[in-house]
Amino acid sequence: MEETPKQQYSNREKNDIFNLEFLPHINSMYNFAFRLTLDRDDAKDLVQDTYLKAYRFIESFQKGTNAKAWLFRILKNSFINDYRKKTKEPSKVDYQEVEAYYNSEEVDRQITPDLRVESLKDMIGDEISNALNSLDVDFRTVIILCDLEGFKYEEMAKILDIPIGTVRSRLHRARNLLKEKLSAYAKLMGYKNTEL
Amino acid sequence: MTNRNNPFLLANGKKPTCMEMLQLILDGEANHEQHEYFRSHMDQCMPCFKTYSLDMTIKELLKEKCCKDTVPAELIEQIKLQISQNTPS
């Protein structure tokens, strides 16, 4: 939890905060949990754990501040502590490599010149969703936070406990990996279409 | 073409690369001035225009295709029940 001065709330105030500031984000929270765990039951458990924790720690939350970022942070920490261990997913990301990549000349290189807007528009099934889900969880996370939920660099840095520079480089790398994935799907679709 | 100052100029006075400008736009961090500047920059920079179109399409598709899940209705009730059971009245 963040180091904020403890608030004092009556039970009624607690319930108001919970109902009016926390619950409205539950669909986003469920979507985030599902994209992290890739399992609907785990996602339900994770959302439930998060909301129970949020209620338990409600006095660390200052009324009227950014509830969504606070909740996302709790959810992400619960995921790391309880679920990542369970699924034993190894972290495949070498951040030093990422930073080195970002600082190199390679950044401006176009990785997927063959991917076209038209082929993306043809992806009417689950291709986009599958491509996102196939990314390593750390890359998946920044795309969800930025592109699906519209969080700012500063909010993402707080949610993920990483510096803003790392948020930027991770997003940049994540976008390129996603494009590589989509490019592979597009090629597959192209082959299929010419066979017909 | 008016000789406007580049609103993307870095703190150290360095001119940002196309990719750095594009990333701020994509990541939702660019301000109004930067958006305007980038829009006119794209008129003269085909690679930026192409990458921008592609990346924005992906961003829009992600939002359209990956946010459809809604939370199971019973979950909200379960959470509320658990809280009321654990709260001393």
Please name the residue that has the structure tokens 């939920």: A149
CATH of the domain at A59: 1.10.1740.10
Q: Which tokens go with A57?
A: 């720690």
Residues in chain A within 8 Å Cβ distance of B29: 152-153
Mark whether A172 and A123 lie in a shared domain.
Answer: yes
ipTM: 0.89
The residues of B whose Cβ lies within 8 A of any Cβ of A are 17-19, 23, 26-29, 47, 51, 53-55, 57-59, 61-63, 65-67, 69-72, 75-76, 78-79, 82-83, 86-87, 89
Q: What mean pLDDT, rounded, does chain B reach?
A: 89
Q: With an 8 Å Cβ cutoff, are A26 and B78 in contact?
A: no
- Does the pLDDT at position A56 exceed 80? yes
Q: With an 8 Å Cβ cutoff, are A116 and B76 in contact?
A: no
Q: What mean pLDDT, rounded, does chain A reach?
A: 85
Would you say residue A45 lies in a domain? Answer: yes
Would you say residue A19 lies in a domain? Answer: yes
Mark whether A66 and A34 lie in a shared domain.
Answer: yes
Mark whether A69 and A17 lie in a shared domain.
Answer: yes
C-alpha distances out from residue A3 to A76, A90, A124, Å: 17, 30, 45
Mark whether A56 and A120 lie in a shared domain.
Answer: no
Cβ of A55 under 8 Å from any chain B Cβ?
Answer: yes
More confident site: A162 or B3? A162
- Final residue belonging to a domain, choices A58, A87, A116: A87
Domain that holds residue A182: 95-195
Predicted confidence at residue A119, as pLDDT, reads 84
Mean pLDDT value of segment A57-69: 94
- Number of domains chain A contains: 2
Would you say residue A37 lies in a domain? Answer: yes
Predicted confidence at residue A108, as pLDDT, reads 47
Band of pLDDT at residue B14, cut at 50, 70 and 90: confident
Q: Report the 10 Å Cβ neighbour count for A128.
A: 22
Burial B19-40 (b: 16+ CB within 10 A, else e): ebbbbbbbbeebeeebeebbee
Write down the pTM of the prediction. Answer: 0.86
Contact call for residues A111 and A180 (beta carbons, < 8 A): yes
Mark whether A60 and A112 lie in a shared domain.
Answer: no
Cα dihedral A77→A80→A86→A89 (10° resolution): 160
